[in-house]
Structure 1
């Protein structure tokens, strides 16, 4: 997977996810946990996380021992991108943080799976995904807190 293709896919994930993210009146009306970072921090954090994922994908692609492994890597990153976008759709477009909370488990698992798979032949590529799984863990905790603090969900 050339780095340009990985970067284009990550940019598409970021753009679609960003388009789905509406911080308007509905979001502002939600009770938020005290540990939530400021809204302005999310863009830079996601930019770093996705840039590291691009590097990870390119490194893993190059290190893959054969075409079957490269195809599996591609499918895992594609699935992860779809799950990343789906979380934004569920939380912001559908306004269902409770559904997004369920879905974030699959997003987290997709990153963990990538780390485990890549660790076998591209350890640096796997390590580059650690900030991603950590950030999604924070996002999941924020998501859980929003569901608990806003009794209209769940």
Structure 2
């Protein structure tokens, strides 16, 4: 049984594919809902670099990124040769989900600008770890993580610049 793909164990066909992608989307978007809604007026009051994207850009970017992450997660789960081969990819992905949400809590919820930087760096590294752990199972899934890596690189630079511009603010 270890050589059979998980998709074989769970069933195959269009219905199983749709259910698997829906479950992955539920996980990726659902975990984000665990983070409390933050007060947007505080962020608006911060000084930001001139290159800061307008606020409406963030959801426009994150929705497709989270959708690609969902498909990547489904691909890895459906192509894995065994449940045990999923341990590292799922752990890396779980850490990446946790760190992305925790950064939001630290930056927006606790308003700890400087304190958010180590979490952002760890978040960035966890996305790279997710992609690297996905690659042996599904190179396409790993490549689907790369746009998130690019966006979080931009977000890390923005986080750094906001910290520098607002030194001494809570």
Q: How many residues align?
A: 152
Deviates more, 1:140-149 or 1:100-109: 100-109
Partner of 2:143: 127
Shift >4 Å, 4+ stretches: none
- The alignment partner of 1:36 has SS state of coil
Computed over aligned residues only, the root mean square deviation of the Cα atoms, in angstroms, reads: 1.7
Partner of 1:23: 40
Partner of 1:38: 54
Alpha carbons of 1:153 and 1:91: their partners in 2 closer, same or farther (altered >3 Å)?
same
TM-score by length of 2: 0.83
Task: Work out whether 1:5 is the aligned partner of 2:5.
Answer: no
Q: Using the alignment, how far apart are the partners of 2:37 and 2:97 within structure 1?
A: 14
Written as runs of structure 1 = structure 2, the 5 A alignment for 1:45-60 is 45-60=61-76
**Greater helix fraction, Structure 1 or Structure 2:** 1
Q: Using the alignment, how far apart are the partners of 1:118 and 1:77 within structure 2?
A: 9
Written as runs of structure 1 = structure 2, the 5 A alignment for 1:133-148 is 133-148=149-164
Alpha carbons of 1:37 and 1:16: their partners in 2 closer, same or farther (altered >3 Å)?
farther
Report the structure number with the largest CA radius of gyration: 2
Q: Using the alignment, how far apart are the partners of 1:132 and 1:20 within structure 2?
A: 22
- Alpha-carbon deviation of 1:20? 3.6
1:34-93 residue CA offsets vs partner (Å, 9 max, x unmatched): 111100110111101100000000011112122112233222222111111101000000
Deviates more, 1:78-87 or 1:51-60: 78-87
TM-score by length of 1: 0.91
Quick check: 2:88–2:133 contact (8 Å CA) kept in 1?
no
Q: Using the alignment, how far apart are the partners of 1:73 and 1:117 within structure 2?
A: 5
- Alpha-carbon deviation of 1:22? 2.6
Which consecutive residues of structure 1, in runs of 5 or more, have no partner in the other structure?
Answer: none
- The alignment partner of 2:40 has SS state of coil
Task: Work out whether 1:115 is the aligned partner of 2:131.
Answer: yes
